[in-house]
Amino acid sequence: MMIQKQIKLALFQLGLLMLIASLDVHAQTDADPVQPQLQTHERVYQVELIIFARPEVNPQEHWPTDVKLNYPENLVSLKTENDPNGFSLLPANERTLNPQAATLARSGTYTLLYHQAWRQPIYARKTHIFISGGKSVGGHQELEGSISLSVGQYLKIQTNLWLSQFAAPGANVAENWPDLPSLPFTDNTLSDKNQDYLIKRIVKISEARSMRSNEVHYIDHPLLGIVIKIIPYEAGIKTN
């Protein structure tokens, strides 16, 4: 039995490595500067973000229950309508990572939770962006939280995400998990009435990463994979 588990783990890790390689990932460390001409420059970028769930390799792994879940102040919601100030979701045909997202969705191993692209100014101070995706349960979604983007000598991303596993109504949940924060940009009175759910597990993903522009970057986690690409945007110039 132990040998079979080791073989399954090895095959899973090999498959993930092959998938990451197909994403043409260029960097995973904090030591990579943005291109020299962009250093310390605040400007408009096109941001594309993919978040996918990975199958559990070790279902018995213990996750802390004392996680702190909160949304930062000055949170920005991405809009579906076009806004000249930015933070508007782009149509699917303007995304550059559609082939990679399709590969994940077809894999049968990974679950695509989020894939969107938008344009926004990125400043030295952090801009906090609301993120949610996956299945909806009781007024919440599997993936919730925010990411923060900033630029100085480096482009930087900070994740403040949590992945919730919900239990079926009436299930016996042994551990005591915190309540999920009320969703921002939502009528909380109506949302609270719809919160009919049981939480089996919450895992928080808090990672900081410096990164290059124009390259695909990957943030790894035992339960999640995060793929992000940030491209300097010039109005009237097609990005790629």
Report the sign of the C-alpha dihedral through residues 166, 175, 225, 129, in that order. Answer: positive
Spatial distance between the Cα atoms of 5 and 2, rounded to a whole number of angstroms: 5
- State both tokens at 84: 């000249």
Question: What tokens does 69 get?
Answer: 């879940």
Regions in the chain scoring below 70 on pLDDT: 1-40, 187-195, 236-240
Token pair for residue 186?
Answer: 């939502």
Per-residue model confidence as pLDDT tens digits over 124-159: 999 999 999 999 998 899 999 999 999 998 899 999
pLDDT for res 21: 53
Distance, in Å, from the CA atom of 227 to the CA atom of 240, rounded to the nearest integer, reads 16
Q: Where are the alpha helices (DSSP H) in the chain?
A: 2-22, 98-106, 188-193
Tokens at residue 222, please? 């035992």
Q: Can you give the pLDDT at residue 23?
A: 57
Specify the residue for token string 């018995």.
Answer: 60
Domain range list for the chain: 2-232
Q: Is residue 156 a contact partner of residue 27, using CB atoms and an 8 Å limit?
A: no
Q: Which two tokens stand for residue 79?
A: 């809009």
Per-residue model confidence (pLDDT) at position 16: 52
